[in-house]
Each structure stands twice: as structure tokens, then as C-alpha cells.
Amino acid sequence: MYDYGYYIFEGGLYRKNEVIDFIEDLGGVVIEEFSMGLDLVMFIAIPRTDLESFMKLVEEVKAKVREAKLVGSEVAVVPPSMSFRHLPHPACDINEYLRRHGAKTFMVGLSRGVGQKRAMITSYERDFLNEVDAAVFIMGNVDECIKKKAVMLRGLHIPIVIVGGPQHVELPEWIVYVGGLGRVAHRLKSSEEEKILEKIVNALSKLLEKKRGELLEDPPLVPPVLLKQEVERQIEEAKGSTVLKVDGVRVLLNYDEYSKPVSNVIIEEYRVKEIASIKRSVLNDHILVKLLPESALS
């Protein structure tokens, strides 16, 4: 399995097809692309060993490439609730900042996130959060409240970042805490606030990089980027409806109608159902495809 690096390409539409052809020749994939006037932005994945070759073409077409480790991941942004009693909160700004760095984000307002003693995560919310690659929980300014609410996260099996007002809060070691950003009554625009947003991105990047490293220790037979590419190529309705995850994809199509076509997609000499588990998502009956490690197949 290739060790892929994830990058954001920013350039012009000039020689766009040549750039895409070169990415594919390297064994890479264009995950998403956006055109704005004459400007082109692409989220791409290419083997790390071929980055130097790609950078020569980037310089030739006068473009820019920056690493974006959040590309190819699903991240849930979780404020205590979306009700008026927990407003204002910086959830929207955090959500948008993560998207700029390539993450596919979901905003999840907890139905019972209010209060120190009553706060809880329902079974539905827990099941959904365990489907994503990582979660950012946005809490308030009182350290004791943050400690008590952290207890309700024990049923989650994903990397977790908690954002709160106090600079330091003692939390379990499996939770990463980023301080300095509690409840605010304005948009996050200052340089200091942007530094905190960058800390959140860095914390998530490290957690996802660790998760990808663990995946490489016992890799699946095909990389997730190739799975996404083939699902979109072989199923017309899946184009633009397939979200890349760290260990597979989410297909935003109805499970009952499309799970069989997805399971029969051919990658190299395998069908998807032979190398991955396919299950129904708790969110809108989407299709979740998780690539299995090679040891599980043998």
C-alpha cells in the first residue's frame, strides 16, 4: 500500500489537464477540485516518494502546494447544543477553518449537552460520532464543567480534541485539550484567535497522522483513495457523493438501493465486499465502507 501524502494545490486553470494527468501517472488521486474564475484549488493525494517530482511541475506552472493532513478525513464539530442557551459559541468559525484545511465536517449539536450533571450523549449520537474519523468538542470557560463533561466521552473510540476557555485542564490522556477559546460574542478574526484555530488543526493533524500510521502497520489491500476513485468511476450516482475517510469511504447514497452495487465495485482483481466491511450508517442510511487489514482477510 502506498504511503500517501495529502496536499492542497492552488494555481490557475492554465495546464489543468496536464497537472491532473501527472498526478494520476504518479498513482495519485484528485479528491476534490474547485474553480473560481481563473483560479483552481484541488485537494489531492499522492505517494510521498513522488512529491519531489510533482513539485517540479508545480514550479513550472507557477502554482503552490501545501500539506493538508486533514484532507481525506471526516471530523465532527460538537458544541454542547445549538440552542440559544449555548450561544454564542465559536463552532461555526472552527467548522469553517477545518474545512479550509481539507476536512469534511459535520456539525453535531447534542440533544442533552446542557448542564454539568445532566449532560450526556445519547446512543444515537454516540453511534454516529464513532463513525467519523475524529471529533472536536467545544466547551465553555469553567474548568470543573469541562472535567465533568469529559466523562461522557468514554464510550467514544475515535481521536478527540476538546476546546475550552481555561489554558490548562487536567483531562484523561486520550483526550487532547486546546485552551484559550471559550464562549465568545464575536467572530474569530484576531491574530491570537487564529493561532488557537491553528493549534486545533495541528492537534487534529497529529491524531489523524497517528491513525494513518497505525493503518500502515497492517494495511488493507488497496488504499482508501483508490477505493473512492473506483466507486465514483463505476457508479454514476456516486460521483460527488463519496466522502474519503482515513480507513475507507462514506457513500452518500441510500443503503438499501446502492449497497449491492457498491459491494460489487471491482478494484484491481478484488470486489469491494471481499476486502472491506459494508454497513448502514446511522446518518440518513448512508453506506459506510471500511477497508479491512490484510491480516483479517487471510
How many percent of the chain have pLDDT more than 90? 65
Q: Pick 267 or 84 by higher pLDDT.
A: 267
The domains of the chain are located at 4-67, 74-214, 224-297
Q: 15 CB contacts (<8 Å, ≥6 apart)?
A: 61
Average pLDDT on 134-148 reads 90
- Res 185: pLDDT: 74
Helices and strands in the chain: count of H runs, count of E runs: 10, 15
How confident is the model over 137-154, as a mean pLDDT?
88
Residue 188: what pLDDT?
84
Instruction: Please calculate the CA angle 241-39-74 and round it to the nearest 5 degrees.
Output: 30
> Quick check: 116 pLDDT over 70?
no
At residue 117, does pLDDT exceed 80? no
Q: How confident is the model at residue 222 (pLDDT cuts 50, 70, 90)?
A: very high
CATH number given to 74-214 = 3.40.50.2300
Residue type, 182: G
Give the 3-state secondary structure of 56-79: HHHHHCCCEEEECCCCCCEEEEEC
pLDDT in tens, 190-200: 889 899 999 99
Looking at residue 115, its pLDDT comes to 61
118 vs 129: which has the higher pLDDT: 129
What is the structure's pLDDT at 297?
80
- Quote the CA–CA distance of 149 and 153 in Å, as a whole number: 8
Report the C-alpha gap between 253 and 262 in whole angstroms: 10
> Is the Cβ–Cβ distance between 195 and 202 less than 8 Å?
no
pLDDT at residue 4 greater than cutoff 80 = yes
pLDDT of residue 16: 92
Per-residue confidence (pLDDT) for residue 190, from 0 to 100: 86
Predicted pLDDT at 2 = 65
pLDDT tens digits for range 174-187? 999 999 988 777 77
Give the side-chain half-sphere CA count within 13 A for 131: 27
pLDDT of residue 83: 63
Evaluate if residue 161 carries a pLDDT over 80. yes
Q: Which residues contact 238 (CB under 8 A, 6 or more apart)?
A: 231, 232, 251, 253, 258, 262
Cβ partners under 8 Å of residue 131, min gap 6: 74, 250, 281, 282, 283, 288
Q: Please, are residues 8 and 66 in contact by the beta-carbon 8 Å criterion? A: yes
Provide mean pLDDT across the span 23-41. Answer: 91
* CATH topology (fold) of 4-67: Alpha-Beta Plaits (3.30.70)
SS3 120: coil
Average pLDDT over residues 116-133: 86
Residue 181 C-alpha cell reads as: 477559546
Q: With 90 as the cut, is the pLDDT of residue 141 above it?
A: no
pLDDT value of residue 177: 96
What end-to-end distance do the CA atoms of the chain give, in Å? Answer: 16
**pLDDT (mean) for 88-102:** 87
Share of the chain above pLDDT 70, in %: 94
Q: How far is CA 34 from CA 30, 41, 43, 44, 176, in A?
A: 11, 5, 9, 12, 32
User: CB of 178 within 8 A of CB of 166?
Assistant: no
Length of the chain: 298
Which pLDDT score is estimated for 252?
96
Q: Once rounded to an integer, what is the mean pLDDT over residues 268-291?
A: 94
